[in-house]
Amino acid sequence: MLALRLLILVLVVAALVVAALPVLVLLDLVGGGTGYGLCAGGLQACPERFTAGPTLAVYLVVSLMVVVAIIRLATHLYRRLQR
């Protein structure tokens, strides 16, 4: 039971990190950074193609959906084990 609760905690933290990642990248780019490696030369010299943003958004949304689905399964299993 404890391991399942810890798994749920780790998954919730992972979901929060995935949800906050675009904001963190944008804040780093605005501050003159590289967007955590997304644009090595900064925003002005970013070699990424036009579809890089939507592609990254799709990856983030799909990964967030997968993490949330696993959280739902884990909480369902936790409730079933409590009975």
pLDDT in tens, 38-75: 777 777 777 766 667 788 889 999 999 999 999 999 99
**Predicted confidence (pLDDT) per residue in 2-25, tens digit:** 999 999 999 999 999 999 988 888
> Looking at residue 83, what DSSP letter applies?
-
Contact between 78 and 5 (Cβ < 8 Å): yes
> Looking at residue 32, what DSSP letter applies?
T
Number of H helices, E strands in the chain: 2, 0
pTM: 0.75
Residue of 61 and 26 predicted with greater confidence? 61
Q: Supply the range of the domain harboring residue 57.
A: 2-82
Distance CA 65, CA 71 (A): 10
Structural domains counted in the chain = 1
